[in-house]
Structure formats: C-alpha cells, structure tokens
C-alpha cells in the first residue's frame, strides 16, 4: 500500500514563505526622474513647498473683490494684467485685474470671473454680467500638495503619474532600488530556439522554446536585469553545472521545466546537491511542481525558483509567485494582485482538489467567458484571455455565479 500523501502546501502559505525569504536587495541608486518609470522608490519624497505654490486662476478672465460686484452689470476699470509666470500687485478696491489661467490671484481679490461672463467696453473698462461667488475659479495654494507632506513613500513602484508628481515638488532625481539580477534558463532536450532551426526542419519530438520569451519579457517589465543561460539538457551533471554558473553574480536563478517527478527531471536533485530546496509542489492548478531553494555562491546565496515546463503553468506560477517575489526584492510592500467579483457566463462542472486558475475573458455583457481548452500546454488560452478566475478547491461554477477575477493587467505590470 502506498503511504498517504502529504497534503500540498497552499498557494497562500507558499507565497508567505517565499516573501519571507525575499529580503530587499542592498545597493539603491540614483536615477533621473525621466528614467524612473517602473522602478521602486528607495526613499520617501517629502515636499518642501506647496503645490500649487500660490492661489492662482483656473480661468482666463478677471480677478475681482466680490464686494465690488454685488449685482450683474457692474462696470470696473482694469487696473492690471497678470499672466502665468508673473506676480501682480495687490488689487485696488473698485477695480478688476485681467488674469490668465495659472497666474497668481492678486492679494485682495477673492474671485475670478471667466472672460465669457465679461464684456470689454470701448473705454477699456469691463462690464461683468454675473455675480461671483467668493472663491470662484481660484485654485488654492497647496490644494494638490501641502508643504511637508510625504508625497511618495519608499517601496512605491513608480508609474508615469508618480514621475510627474515627483517632478511637481522639484525632484529631478530619485533614489530607486537596485534592479534584481536574474539568471534564466530552460531545461529540456526537446527544446529548440526559434531561429536556430526553421519549422520545416524540426526533428521529430522537438518543440520551440516558448517559455523563455514570456519569462524574459515579464522579468524585464518588473525591472529585472536578465542574463540568459540558454537551454540546459536533461542531465544531472549539466543541470548542476548550469545552476552553479548561474548562481555567480545573480540574485535569482529562474528555470523552467524539469521540476516534476520523472526520471528526466533533474532540477530538484541538482538544487539539493548544491544548496537547499525549501519548497516544492503547491496546491494550485496549473503549476503544482513549482520549487524554491537557495544556492550558495561567493558571498551569500542566490535564490532559486523552478517553474514547471508546461507553458501555462510556467506563466501562472511566474505571475502568482515570482512576480511578488521580485517586487519584494525591490522593496515593494504589497505586491498582491487585486481580484474582483465578476459574473461567470460559463459552466465549470468538475471541481478540482487544487485551487484552479481558469483563463477567461470579459464579454460585452460584463460577464466572463471561458476559454474552451484549459490544458496547461495551451498557451493560446493566455493570449486569448484578459485574466484568470481564481477558483477555490472543490468549487464548481454555474452561469450567473459570482467568481473572483484577476486581470492580466494586475499580473503583468
Ligand atoms: P517538464 O516540466 O520539463 O516535464 O515539461 C512539461 C511540458 O512542458 C513538456 O511537454 C515540455 O516539452 C514542455 N516544455 C518544457 N519547457 C518548455 C519551454 N521552455 N517551452 C515550451 N514548452 C516547454
Ligand atoms: Mg522536461
């Protein structure tokens, strides 16, 4: 009789354990704010000024004292002209100031009238056809950012809007986390690099290495430097040699394939020969054979992550486990993808013992359609879908059920 199987580690437990190993990398550096998109801030950014710095006009028009415009039809002389970039004089009572968008509102004025509500008379005075509300069309000093505010926190992954925000408080350079150095290789005697052999000349049993392309692209999107160690044959000695070479100078070794239980799967024993295997097999579908370990090198050790070879398994284990890990290495605090409640417009009649990730796509009715072939080798399902349903173990799905949806935009950026 076979001994009872140990229950597999849950995805949440595995992720918590991985993040526990992901000590943020040392060696932050300075980059131009122009070049900081996608990088992770290694400093708090505190504003030493108000943004905007002064009360200023929202409109092209006239700045007035409301007390001078008690009724529509009032006519006022124009005492000054204030364009953006200049500072005017205090507004003399009983006059209006010609003002333009972004120009500071002069002291004494308490409202701006848009020029569409004003009529310039022959003699240069202005007739005002509306009664202003106090504060109207004035952008207040500090309404975006107040002096002393922490505008961006260390650990923030910068996006275009945040570059603009940093620039708005005068920061032309930013301290960012060092890029993780990742060594990538694929295992499998069947693998051929596209370009090395044309499709008509592929030997029987050979397939193209597709994982390398999306894994490399996803790593680059996450701010990593990627060193490509090519394809490693299905031999123990070659696998050990490749892991040893890849550990030097890299923070993380990422492999695909060879991590299951077959005789041709050499990753696990090779990692154990060189270092430690801390985690292997997770209760998720696809993606069960995922592995994590550490391999000693000159100074300290390199993290090791082994992804299953099947392309969809590789893709999803990357998205759900490697992605948060490499973000944490850069100091990101919360890298968990957001899921949302969406209506399923499909049937999933057979529950699985593992938590499943089903490739789906939004339809025009706001519900989700299921890709017809959920096989872990069918990469088309990922290209077709716009996300996955995160389906709990033991759960069937009927049309109309509410399911948890994770968008690929959450997993790929
Ligand atoms: P393995 O995890 O090595 O047992 O591989 C599982 C399946 O994924 C096999 O059908 C392999 O041929 C396929 N596979 C492994 N690596 C790759 C790769 N880099 N690109 C495409 N398919 C792969
Ligand atoms: Mg293999």
By CB neighbour count within 10 A (0-12 exposed, 13-18 middle, 19+ buried), where does 227 fall?
middle
pLDDT on residue 7: 87
* pLDDT above 90: residue 4: no
> How far is ligand 1, taken at its centre, from the CA of residue 152, in Å?
42
Query: pLDDT band for position 1 (50/70/90)?
Result: low
The three-state secondary structure class of 238 is helix
Q: Is 286 in the pocket of ligand 1 (CB under 6 A)?
A: no
Q: Is 209 in the pocket of ligand 1 (CB under 6 A)?
A: yes
Total Cβ atoms within 10 A of residue 349:
7
> How far is ligand 1, taken at its centre, from the CA of residue 184, in Å?
15
Q: Is 306 in the pocket of ligand 1 (CB under 6 A)?
A: no
* pLDDT above 70: residue 395: yes
Spatial CB neighbours of 383, under 8 Å, sequence gap ≥ 6: none
Q: Is 314 in the pocket of ligand 1 (CB under 6 A)?
A: no
- The string of pLDDT tens digits covering residues 174-184 is 999 999 999 99
Query: pLDDT band for position 408 (50/70/90)?
Result: very high
> How far is ligand 2, taken at its centre, from the CA of residue 270, in Å?
14
- The string of pLDDT tens digits covering residues 127-163 is 999 999 999 999 999 999 999 999 999 999 999 999 9
Spatial CB neighbours of 229, under 8 Å, sequence gap ≥ 6: 183, 184, 185, 242, 245, 246
Query: pLDDT band for position 361 (50/70/90)?
Result: very high
- The string of pLDDT tens digits covering residues 241-270 is 999 999 999 999 999 999 998 999 999 999
Query: What backbone phi and psi angles, to 5 degrees, belong to 143?
Result: -70, -20
- What domains does the chain contain, in order, with CATH numbers? 11-26+179-329 (3.40.980.10), 33-44+146-176 (no CATH), 56-139 (2.170.190.11), 339-411 (2.40.340.10)
Spatial CB neighbours of 375, under 8 Å, sequence gap ≥ 6: 312, 381
Helix (H) or strand (E) holding 16: helix 11-21
Q: Which atom of ligand 1 is nearest to the CA of 212?
A: 19
pLDDT on residue 378: 98
Q: Is 232 in the pocket of ligand 1 (CB under 6 A)?
A: no
Q: How far apart are CA 125 and CA 19, in angstroms?
A: 69
């Amino acid at each position: 009789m076979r001994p009872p199987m140990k229950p597999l580690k849950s995805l949440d437990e595995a992720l918590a354990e991985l993040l526990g190993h992901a000590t943020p990398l040392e060696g932050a550096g300075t980059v131009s704010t122009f070049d900081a998109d996608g990088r992770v801030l290694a400093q708090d950014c505190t504003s030493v000024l108000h943004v905007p710095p002064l009360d200023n006009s929202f409109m092209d028009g006239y700045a007035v004292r409301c007390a001078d415009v008690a009724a529509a039809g009032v006519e006022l002389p124009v005492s000054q002209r204030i364009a953006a970039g200049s500072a005017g004089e205090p507004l003399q009572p009983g006059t209006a100031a010609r003002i333009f968008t972004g120009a500071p509102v002069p002291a004494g004025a308490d409202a701006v009238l848009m020029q569409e509500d004003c009529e310039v008379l022959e003699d240069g005075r202005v007739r005002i056809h509306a009664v202003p509300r106090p504060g109207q069309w004035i952008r207040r000093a500090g309404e975006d950012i107040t002096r002393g505010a922490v505008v961006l926190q260390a650990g923030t992954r910068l996006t275009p809007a945040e570059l603009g925000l940093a620039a708005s408080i005068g920061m032309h350079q930013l301290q960012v986390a060092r890029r993780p150095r990742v060594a990538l290789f694929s295992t499998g005697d069947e693998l051929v690099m596209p370009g090395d052999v044309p499709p008509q000349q592929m030997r029987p049993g050979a397939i193209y290495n597709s994982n390398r392309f999306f894994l490399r692209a996803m790593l680059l999107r996450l701010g990593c430097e990627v060193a490509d160690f090519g394809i490693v044959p299905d031999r123990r000695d070659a696998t050990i040699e490749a892991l040893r070479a890849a550990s030097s100078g890299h923070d993380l070794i990422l492999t695909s394939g060879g991590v299951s239980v077959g005789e041709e799967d050499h990753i696990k024993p090779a990692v154990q020969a060189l270092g430690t295997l801390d985690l292997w097999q997770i209760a998720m579908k696809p993606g069960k054979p995922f592995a994590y370990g550490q391999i000693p090198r000159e100074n300290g050790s390199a993290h090791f992550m082994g992804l299953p070879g099947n392309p969809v398994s590789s893709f999803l284990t990357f998205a759900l486990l490697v992605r948060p890990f490499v973000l944490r290495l850069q100091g990101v605090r919360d890298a968990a993808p957001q899921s949302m409640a969406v209506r399923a417009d499909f049937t999933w009649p057979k529950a699985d013992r593992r938590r499943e990730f089903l490739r789906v796509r939004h339809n025009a009715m706001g519900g989700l359609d299921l890709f017809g072939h959920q096989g872990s080798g069918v990469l088309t399902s990922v290209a077709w879908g716009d996300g996955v349903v995160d389906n709990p173990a033991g759960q069937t799905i009927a049309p109309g059920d509410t399911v948890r949806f994770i968008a690929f935009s959450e997993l790929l950026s």
